[in-house]
Amino acid sequence: MTVRPVLAPAPFISEKHPHLVYIVDKDSSVVPISQPRLEGDSVIGVLPGYAEPIGVALPDARQVLAPQPDPKRTAMLVAGLGLVTGTVVYFITRPGGGTGCSPTGIYGTVVC
C-alpha cells in the first residue's frame, strides 16, 4: 500500500472504511486519524496510540491522504513474479530437469 491523495474523501471513507487517513489542514499540519468515520461534514476517529477522539471538518482540510493500492507497483510485482516463475519453469523443464545431467548415454541413460 502507498499513501496517496484521496480525490473524493467522503465517499472514499464511507465506502472503503480505511483503517487510517491523514488530514492536511490549511496550515499544512498533518493529522493522522485512525478508524475514521463520517459525521456530517467531519471526519471523526482517534489519534493513533491514544483513546481520545478527534474530528476534523472536511471543508477545513486542504488534502486527505490514505494508504491505497498503487497500480504501478502492483504491475511491477506481477511482472517480476512472472519473470521469476518463467525462469524457474525453464530450468526445471529443460533436458536434465535442471540437475545438470542430460540423457545422452547409451539407450537414453542419464549421464552426469
Residue 49 maps to which CATH number?
2.30.30
Integer angstrom CA distances of residue 45 from 13, 95, 98, 108: 11, 61, 56, 71
Same domain? For 75 and 63 the reply is no
Give yes or no for a contact between 58 and 41, defined as CB atoms under 8 angstroms apart: yes
Q: How many domains would you assign to the chain?
A: 2
Q: What are 59-105's pLDDT values in tens digits?
A: 999 999 999 988 888 888 889 999 999 888 888 887 655 555 666 65
Residue type, 95: P
Same domain? For 58 and 91 the reply is no
Residue 110 and residue 32: Cα distance in Å, rounded?
64
Average pLDDT rounded to a whole number, residues 30-41: 95
Residue type, 34: S
Neighbour-count burial of 109, counting CB atoms closer than 10 A to its CB (0-12 exposed, 13-18 middle, 19+ buried): exposed
Same domain? For 51 and 17 the reply is yes
Bridge-based pairing state of the strands 20-25 and 61-68: antiparallel
Query: What DSSP letter does each residue of 55-83 carry, written as one string?
Result: EEEGGGEEEEEEEE--HHHHHHHHHHHHH
pLDDT at 90: 85
Range of the domain at 13: 2-68
Same domain? For 32 and 54 the reply is yes
Q: What are 2-31's pLDDT values in tens digits?
A: 899 999 999 999 999 999 999 999 999 999
